[in-house]
Structure 1
Amino acid sequence: MSAQPGEWSSGGIYESYVGRWSRLVATEFIDWLDRPAAQRWLDVGCGTGALTSTILRTADPASVLGVDPSAGFVEYARQQVHDERASFDVRSAAELPDGPFDVVVAGLVLNFVPERVEALRRMREIGAAVAVYVWDYAGGMQLMRYFFDAMAEVRPQDREQDEGRRFTFCTPEGLEELFTAAGFDAVRTREIVVPTVFASFDDYWQPFLGGQGVAPAYLRSLAEPDQVALRDAVRARLPIEADGSIKLTARAWAAAG
């Protein structure tokens, strides 16, 4: 990952922001891959262990190695995942182990890897199968989309902070181009949509205050009056139900080769 200091360090805070929604995507992702049992898996950018946990629960692996450049995330994953088939190590996508592995996966990681094609080539070298998923930042990841659309309204000078603008490859076509450039054949993609339901606006907004992730780190960088203005603009845009709940969806795009 390429991130600012402190942007990716607290597993618990990140879990409340998008980790919990990633777990829903991971279930459909692993089901789609439909891999045989007793295989060796590598989870690149394992974060809080959401994808690793899903592999252990649903794919009956022989082993899963999760790697992430954040020591804080790796420690959180170690505390949360209690399975002798799982192990974790502090490594970046540029420092992957030699393997070999039957399956190499990366969930919500590729957009934070500076040299994406090179990383995918390395995954191809060490893995018989490679698959990833990323959020649809420009459109279908609604909890982030409402935030960045409000940001463009109240702070248009910061428009380039929008993850939809920064990560334009996070589409089926963009992922297929990356995989093809990395030498993969028969690349397949699919859409994964999961519900993201919040009990109240506070339930939605509180994770943005933790500084873990691109949008929360950006929010923390603002002066307090600007944070308040952005919060109010987001609240005005959200489809808040009569009971105060907010029912959104999150779309991810997956690719495998």
Structure 2
Amino acid sequence: MNATNADIYEIAMGRWSRRLSRNFLDFVAAPSCGSLIDVGCGTGSLTLAAATRYPNAHVVGVDLIPDYLAEALLGAAPNVRFETGDASKLPFADDSFDTAFSQLLLNDLDGPAGAVSEMVRVTKPNGRIAASVWDRQGGLSFIRMFLDAAAVLAYPAGDALRSQIFDIPYQSEDALFDLWSDAGLRDVDTTTLSIRMDFLDFEDYWQSLLGAHSLIRDFFTQLDPEIALQVRTATERAYLGGKNDGRRSLVASAMAVRGFVGE
């Protein structure tokens, strides 16, 4: 059976986005009732976490990828619904929600400012808007172990891949603060959220890595077999750290921002 987009996402990031959701919702501090929208909900980690935390709220998850929504529906809660929609053109009227949030989406969009504008549009006056993004450059050691090895052993293609993955619009809390301020949001605040990524062994880590980013997967599968082996071996040595194979727990960090719609 061929793996679906949702299967790949769950292996690579789904388990970590669920863990991040708890910390992110603490930061969002949404009202315990009313209507909430999760923009770019993926397989529903944040949507379902919000529905569980706020059983008296109505939560809507929106995503463009049908595979993700099909996976999300498997765990649907009574106070949740999922809809297909584009973050840059949300299928909802103005002032439809009390809170809008988005997890791990903005740095994968061509026009993040447009998505933020749409979140503002569909949120009521004084409602809150929040988002989080992975700190790819300084906060994802499990990706950096591979990219640093590839940059040296598969130069110059590996070096270009590292730059491409790290060359993202929002690399700091200050950049997120400016994005929220430029959108007209008030009382803007930022923070860094940390979780732990737990891997059973190197093979678990490796499968998660290759699914974490399509650029990494495509790059590795197209490498010359000898160089690919060198890159994998170097990454494995970094993972093992001179010890036997087995469980590892690596810190991963995300940056988050929140603000309020004006009156």
Q: Distance in 1 between matches of 2:85 and 2:209?
A: 26
Gap change, CA 1:247 and 1:10, over 3 Å in 2? same
Which letter maps to 2:98? D
Contact 1:144–1:215 under 8 Å retained in 2 = no
**Percentage of pairs with the same residue:** 29
CA deviations 1:49-108 (Å, max 9, x no partner) are 1111110121335211111111111111112x2312111122221221224111111111
Structure 1 regions of 5+ residues with no counterpart? 1-7
1:39 matches 2:40: no
Q: Is the 8 A contact 2:32 2:56 kept in 1?
A: yes
Task: Report the counterpart of residue 153 of structure 1 in structure 2.
Answer: 152
CA gap of 1:39–1:145, structure 2 versus 1, over 3 A, is farther
Aligned to 1:245: 247
1:168 to partner: Cα distance: 4.8
Higher Cα radius of gyration: 2
Give the match for residue 21 of structure 1: 16
Q: Matches of residues 92-171 of structure 1 in structure 2 within 5 Å?
A: 92-99=86-93, 100-127=96-123, 128-158=127-157, 159-162=159-162, 164-171=165-172
Residue 62 in structure 1 maps to residue 57 in structure 2: yes
Matched residue, 2:72: 77
Please list the CA deviations of residues 100-135 of structure 1 after superposition, one character each: whole Å capped at 9, or x if unmatched. 111111111001111111211111111221100111
Q: SS where residue 86 of structure 2 aligns?
A: coil
Looking at secondary structure, tell me which structure has more strand per residue. 2
Q: Which amino acid aligns with 1:91?
A: G
TM-score (norm. length: structure 2): 0.86
| Residue ranges of structure 2 left out of the alignment (5+ in a row) | none
Q: CA offset at residue 176 of structure 1?
A: 0.9
CA distance in 2: counterparts of 1:213 and 1:103, whole angstroms:
31
Report if aligned partners of 1:55, 1:61 keep a CA contact under 8 Å in 2. no
